[in-house]
Structure 1
Amino acid sequence: MKKMLAWVVKEYGKPEDLVFDRIPVPSLEQGGPNPVDTLVKVEAAALNFADEIAIAGRYQDRIEPPFVPGNELAGTVVETSAGSRFQPGDRVACQVRSGAFAEYCAVASDRLMAIGDIDARAAAALPVSYTTAHVALFQKGNLTAGQTVLIHAASGGLGVAATQLARSAGARIIATAGSEEKRRFAIENGADHVIDYRKPDWYKEVKSLSPNGVDIVVDPVGGATSEQSLRLLAWQGKLLICGFASGEIPALKANYMLVKSASVHGVYWSFDRDPDEIRAIQQELVELCAAGGIRPLIRDVYPMGEVVAAMKALRSRETVGKVVLSW
């Protein structure tokens, strides 16, 4: 039986509890409505805050141990079974429920995006961060040219993606970021204004830049940031909840929604629920990336064997853009 190196969650815990093990290469299936019919040799896998939550057993889509974590990858097809949409040698990327932090990952071909000559490290950033940003801005936010968008954590993976997509749509962008380096990245990435969110009165700067409020807030932070953002919305504005990187679930006051006719939207997409829509979005993202319309920011690349260090850096806000693991 052929084996591979992979990070394994033997039991729920911290990233430090992961085991770098040699396990069997996953096998393919034939038949059924969505067979796992394509084996991908992983070249790069991207990190998400959700990975650490899954390892701890606290993710909403809970996976029982043992399992290989990681849900965003890019690589090359090496084997297929009957019915696969791809052939060995094709370069692909995808979002998976688990399995990205390994040498090989078995995937249902319907989930795969053909990436052509796009660098694997850049392609690995598309399936989750850019898809989430697209769903947030256009499906939930109905963004149109000329609107003002407030993007929190603008130098993170989702923030970078949201800024680039909002810029391509002709929006005015107010971004928040912590360090001077991250604020500089946000400006270089297309933000019109950048605010230091560590200042206790950061929201006053937003008000001065947009006295009538902002049309859309992209918020992957949660906690007090979400609560204050709700107050910053314009008439019929939209607060898009994309995650809780702060670790705090916000307590949002309905009276602010009422008096501004504002709305709060949870941004959570599922390939299994909306395969045609998600596939169309991801194909659009691949084409935009190939044409240079979007540019995944990949500064922090770690060897696959250093996944614990990579997660620690992501958790401590030391990273900029998407954090990628590479073989």
Structure 2
Amino acid sequence: MRSVVYSETGGPEVLRLVEEPVPEPGPGEVRVRVRRSGVNPTDWKSRAGRGPGKPVDPPQIPGQDGAGVVEAVGPGVQESWVGLDVWVLEAAWKRRWGTTSEHTLVRESNVSLLPRTTSSGAPYDLGAALGIPFVTAHRCLTVAEEGPLRLGPGTLQGRTVLVSGGAGAVGNAAIQLARWSDATIITTVSSPQKAQLAAAAGADHVIDYRQRDVGEEVRRIAPRGVDVVVEVDPQANAPLVARLAAPNAVIATYADDGGGADVAVPVRASMVPNLRWQFVLVYTLPAAAKARALDDLGAALAEGALGVGERHGLPLHHFGLDEAAQAHAAVEQGAVGKVLIDL
């Protein structure tokens, strides 16, 4: 089989296309014939490591997310998985078997059924785009102290969600899931083009922060404040979102797009309304929270509530397996939409 690997940390140039034997699944594993691999920021950050030139042994196959067909199962796994379309989450977390390969090994708990018919019309594209972004967004939307713990029609009715960066992958996922759950959705973007994407995803109100005052606009739309903030850049936005949060709101941050190591949390502005500041990383989520996310995403898929592509606010950028380095570079350079590797 053909796989992309890296045996040392560094830039995209360390990725190599190699031939490897097709692996056999061990206990609790399934082997997936990968059709699409989704590229996330964590993929290039793991490849880059803490600096170039650090050995990686055994060579790592990158790619946490993907979609394909189960073709074999290991001991302890039901044979009924064989032949089913699935989407994959966290394939390479503390394992060498990522999704940038024609075949990969995945824990049974990290594969979920993928409907053959989706709202996007391309199930493998959608399946490879789900994993990290959508589970992250689910956690951000369900981590408030009073819940809800689950998403679905009506679960966020009467609540206002502010999504920072609505044209990004997690921002898009948060908008789609909040829309499915009947929230009022406000999002911020940095250009008219990104505003169109956020609106296509389902946002009710889109604010171009380079053209309008976010604070004034949000207060006009939601005078009592917002109940949930899905935050991509806490270093820049912490003072603002604290002022815009409703009593007992949650500010859930999943990234540090500002690039700083520290966040200055406004204490008094957070204390008086009893705000919760929550940090989110998919890989270390509580098992129960992750299981709820997978169940809810399965329900959303079954209802046709999720999609990818321009009309769903998430443009797709396709690369071949031999173009994995270009795919990583595209994500690292901030490509708007979802980068996929086709197999």
Q: Normalized against structure 1, the TM-score is what? A: 0.86
Give, in whole Å, the separation in 2 of the partners of 1:18 and 1:227.
Answer: 40
Identity, % of aligned pairs? 29
Provide the alpha-carbon RMSD of the alignment.
2.5
Gaps in structure 2 of 5+ consecutive residues: 93-97, 118-122, 149-155, 309-313
CA distance 1:23–1:253, change in 2 (3 Å)? farther
CA distance 1:151–1:58, change in 2 (3 Å)? farther
Q: Is 1:8 equivalent to 2:21 in the alignment?
A: no
Query: Is the Cα contact below 8 Å between 1:127 and 1:282 reproduced in 2?
Result: no
User: Counterpart of 2:268 in 1: which secondary structure?
Assistant: helix
CA distance 1:29–1:148, change in 2 (3 Å)? same
Give, in whole Å, the separation in 2 of the partners of 1:200 and 1:64.
Answer: 47
Query: Is the Cα contact below 8 Å between 2:37 and 2:341 reproduced in 1?
Result: yes
- Report the residue type matching 2:270 in the other structure: M
TM-fit CA distance, 1:64: 4.8
Q: Is 1:17 equivalent to 2:14 in the alignment?
A: yes
Give, in whole Å, the separation in 1 of the partners of 2:137 and 2:284.
Answer: 15
Q: Is 1:160 equivalent to 2:159 in the alignment?
A: no
Q: Which of 318, 323, 326 in structure 1 is aligned with 2:339?
A: 323
Give, in whole Å, the separation in 2 of the partners of 1:155 and 1:270.
Answer: 23
TM-fit CA distance, 1:313: 2.7
Q: Is 1:70 equivalent to 2:63 in the alignment?
A: yes
Q: Which of 127, 131, 134 in structure 1 is aligned with 2:135?
A: 131
Give, in whole Å, the separation in 2 of the partners of 1:108 and 1:271.
Answer: 16
How many residues align structurally? 314
Q: Which residue of 2 aligns with 1:208?
A: 220
Give, in whole Å, the separation in 1 of the partners of 2:284 and 2:83.
Answer: 24
Give, in whole Å, the separation in 2 of the partners of 1:289 and 1:87.
Answer: 18
Q: Which of 161, 166, 182 in structure 2 is aligned with 1:149?
A: 161
Give, in whole Å, the separation in 2 of the partners of 1:223 and 1:7.
Answer: 35
CA distance 1:261–1:283, change in 2 (3 Å)? closer
Residue pairs, 1:1-327, within 5 angstroms? 4-30=1-27, 35=28, 37-58=29-50, 64-65=56-57, 66-85=59-78, 86-98=80-92, 99-118=98-117, 119-140=123-144, 142=147, 144-198=156-210, 201-249=213-261, 250-270=263-283, 273-274=286-287, 277-296=289-308, 297-320=314-337, 322-327=338-343
Query: Is the Cα contact below 8 Å between 1:231 and 1:256 reproduced in 2?
Result: yes
Give, in whole Å, the separation in 2 of the partners of 1:57 and 1:193.
Answer: 38
Query: Is the Cα contact below 8 Å between 2:91 and 2:110 reproduced in 1?
Result: no
User: Counterpart of 1:29 in 2: which secondary structure?
Assistant: coil
User: Counterpart of 1:10 in 2: which secondary structure?
Assistant: strand
